[in-house]
Structure 1
Amino acid sequence: MKRILLLGALSAVILTSCVSSKKYSELESKYKESQDLLNSATVKLNTCLEEKASAMAEMESLKQQNDLLKANNQELINNMGNLTTLTTKGAENLEKSLESLREKDLTIRKLQDAVTRRDSVNLALVQSLKGVLGNLDDEDINISVEKGVVYVNISDKLLFRSGSTVVTPRAKEVLGKVATVVKNKPDFEFMVEGHTDTDPISTAAIKDNWDLSVLRATAVVRILQDDFGVSPARMTAAGRGEYIPVADNSTREGKAKNRRTRIVVLPKIDQFYSMIEEGMKDPNIN
């Protein structure tokens, strides 16, 4: 009986040992499989971590690029704003320059209009003088216009005797005709200039050619005032002596040309400006 029980117990132990080895193998196999899965998961995790690190680095780079682009974009916006401001100022400056040019052009046109009107008045004055003086010898009297001024040159052969300051009767007739024209032109003033040659003169009443030229000019002015009623306020008497010759004083003919009295007729300055102001009112200009 004991042998039977012993055999039974031994069989039980053997059977038990066999089951444990099998389970152990199964467990070992599962462990190995789990270890392989763990290793594979570890590799994948490391790969993921590397990819994450790479992605984070790329994201940081992209963020920096984005910040740089934002900064550049803002700078461009600022530059565009500055450019717009500069363009606006440039347009304003250009408009001001154009306006200034228009104003200058308008002023020039007004001045040109005034000068044209002045020249027309001067031309009418010259025609009037030539009309009243008739066919006088050109060597005795000459009428010209230079730079907007009318000049009436009268030779001393017609006006005075040699070395004298007394106006001849024939000269008074000529001065009377000149007075008729200038009296009808109240917008003009004139200056009577005496001129001499270089021959010296010295008498009890006349010291030199300065004296002679001045005395002859005042003699003409007095005739125009006293005999023909020209307003003295419109006249100036001036002596130029021998210092503005029109010919060579080395010849008799040249000296004869230099001995002359010149009447300079010119518009009053305020009258000339009035012409400019009237030109400003011209609708063709404005």
Structure 2
Amino acid sequence: MKKILLFSLSLIILSSCVSKKEYTALQEKQKETQDLLNSATVKLNSCLEERASSTAKAKALESQVDRLNNQIDNLQIISSKSASSIEKTLESLQEKDLKITRLQDAINKKDSVTLALVTSLKREVGINDPDIEVSVEKGVVFISIADKLLFKSGSYTVTSQAKDVLAKVAKVINSKPNFEAMIEGHTDNVSYRKEPLLDNWDLSVKRSTSIIRVLLDLGVKPEQLIAAGRAEFVPLVDNDTAENRAKNRRTRVVVLPKIDQFYDMIEKEMKTLSAGGN
């Protein structure tokens, strides 16, 4: 501005010393200079505004970079923890898979032994007889013998024919000293009362104990035998015909594996698996 004032003063002073033509030229030169100055001032202000805006954007970007760096650091920490957690989870799953595999192996072993036992029982008892049935239910072996092979109608005295069959059952039980055998009597739903027996409960239990006494005579250890009577309350079929009632009148020999021999390994695996889950 000082330069412009000086230039103006110079023009005033020179105006008295120069010709009008020269003065006019100087005035035009002053106008051009003033226009250039105004244009430069506008550009300078625009540049200053742009610099201020750029500075603000730069600071904002720096803040974003700082936040992103912090997030990256946090993600790295989280990623490290997640990786460790995933690794532990995978190890836990592998351990459980191993335990499940071992448990399945134990179950398969039990099933294999049970299957071998069924095969042995079928061979020993004579499964070809339609009145003798060997089956497996939930890992337990059942030998079902029709009453017509064991007792006369309304009687709990074992027939001589039955003793041949029971001799084979005794042989099987004696060959399995670690097993127990529950002798389970079943009747039809026809009411029964004959002194000293009061009803079908008495009859079913009395038939069970009668068979047990024969098995004892055949050398079976008493601690292996269990007497049980179910009366008419667990029928195989409806008691609506004579044929069906004959099917329901039966005696089952339930071959029970002792827990410590067959299920101990399974219980142990279940406890181990449960402890691992906790």
What range describes the TM-score normalised by the shorter chain of this pair? 0.7 to 0.9
Measure how far apart 1:213 and its partner are.
Answer: 1.4
1:241 aligns with 2:242: no
Residue 218 of structure 1 pairs with residue 218 of structure 2: no
1:100-139 matches, within 5 Å, as: 100-134=92-126, 137-139=129-131
Residue 127 of structure 1 aligns with an amino acid whose one-letter code is: T
1:145 maps to what in 2?
Answer: 136
The answer to whether the Cα contact below 8 Å between 2:174 and 2:219 also exists between their aligned partners in 1 is no
| Letter of the 1:65 counterpart | K
Which structure 2 residues correspond to residues 241-280 of structure 1 after superposition, within 5 A? 241-276=231-266
Match of 1:69 in 2: 61
How many Å separate the matches in 2 of 1:277 and 1:239?
30
Question: SS of 1:194's equivalent?
Answer: strand
2:47 to 21, 45, 55: 55
Name structure 1 gaps, 5 residues minimum.
1-23, 281-286
What is the TM-score normalised by the length of structure 2? 0.74
- Residue by residue, what CA displacement relative to the aligned partner does 1:58-98 show, whole Å, maximum 9, x if unpaired? 11101111112122222322333344444445444544444
Kept in 1, the 8 Å contact 2:173–2:220? The answer is no
Say if 1:212 and 1:39 are closer, same or farther in 2 by CA, change over 3 A.
Answer: same
Report the residue type matching 1:241 in the other structure.
A
Question: What is the CA–CA distance in structure 2 between the aligned matches of 1:74 and 1:190, rounded to whole Å?
Answer: 80
1:179–1:230 contact (8 Å) kept in structure 2: no
Q: 1:245 is matched by which residue type in structure 2?
A: P
Q: Deviations over 1:18-76 (max 9, x none)?
A: xxxxxx879745xx799998877766655554443322211110111111212222232
- Residue 153 of structure 1 aligns to a residue whose secondary structure is strand
d(CA) in 2 for partners of 1:86 and 1:187?
A: 58
For residue 192 of structure 1, what is the aligned residue in structure 2? 183
**Which amino acid is 1:183 matched to?**
N
Distance change >3 Å, CA 122–CA 202, structure 1 → 2: same
Distance 1:26 1:248 in 2: 142
Q: Secondary structure at the match of 1:199?
A: coil
SS of equivalent to 2:133: strand
1:89–1:26 distance in 2 versus 1, CA, 3 Å: closer
Shift in alpha-carbon separation, 1:85–1:211, aligned structure 2, 3 A: farther
Cα distance change, pair 26–111 in 1 and its aligned pair in 2 (3 A): closer
Partner Cα distance (1:263, 1:62) in 2 = 97
Question: In the TM superposition, what is the alpha-carbon distance from 1:258 to its structure 2 partner?
Answer: 0.8
1:28-107 to 2 correspondence within 5 Å? 28-29=17-18, 47-107=39-99
**What is the alpha-carbon distance in structure 2 between the residues aligned to residue 203 and residue 190 of structure 1?**
28
Deviation at 1:196, TM superposition (A): 0.6
**Identity percentage over the alignment?**
47
Q: What is the CA–CA distance in structure 2 between the aligned matches of 1:269 and 1:184, rounded to whole Å?
A: 18
* 1:160 counterpart residue number: 151
What residue number does 2:220 align with?
229
